[in-house]
Amino acid sequence: DTEVTQTPKHLVMGMTNKKSLKCEQHMGHRAMYWYKQKAKKPPELMFVYSYEKLSINESVPSRFSPECPNSSLLNLHLHALQPEDSALYLCASSHPGRNTEAFFGQGTRLTVV
């Protein structure tokens, strides 16, 4: 099973809403990631969790709050977003280490209105 599952697939939220994106994997991976992808652009790294601890935050605004409650789950809590935050949010996982393959989910298409 090389599947990373993201929910929901689509999300429309207002600028005052609070919502969460969820990501789950059962491959035993201990590194999990959030990427943001704007239309016709490559994915950009937001956060990396390694062994359930936040190891990299790529200077992401605090309106994005990641959480890794256990080794299989990764959440991204959203609050007071702006329309320019509309994008495809991708979750990925891998074994930590030098030569490991990253597996991506199908993404959540987020629209902020």
Partner 1 sequence: KQEVTQIPAALSVPEGENLVLNCSFTDSAIYNLQWFRQDPGKGLTSLLLIQSSQREQTSGRLNASLDKSSGRSTLYIAASQPGDSATYLCAVGAAGNKLTFGGGTRVLVKP
Choose the stretch contacting partner 1; rule: CB under 8 A; options: 13-21, 49-57, 67-75, 78-86: 49-57
Q: Which pair of structure tokens corresponds to residue 93?
A: 């996982």
Q: Candidates 20, 50, 65, 72: give the one binding partner 1 (CB under 8 A).
A: 50
Select 17 or 50, whichever has its Cβ closest to partner 1.
50
HSE-up of 47 (CA within 13 Å, CB side)?
22
When asked if residue 53 is in the footprint of partner 1 (CB under 8 A), the reply is no
The residue (of 75 and 106) whose beta carbon lies closer to partner 1 is: 106
Map residues 17-36 to x or -, x wherever contact with partner 1 holds by CB under 8 A: --------------x-x---
Instruction: Kindly give the residue spans of alpha helices, DSSP state H, lying in the chain.
Output: none
Burial class (CB in 10 A: 0-12, 13-18, 19+), 96: middle
Pairing between strand 108-112 and 10-13? parallel
How far apart, in whole angstroms, are the C-alpha atoms of residue 26 and residue 84? 32
Residues that bind partner 1 (CB under 8 A): 4, 6, 31, 33, 41-45, 48, 50, 55-56, 88, 90, 92, 94, 96-107, 109
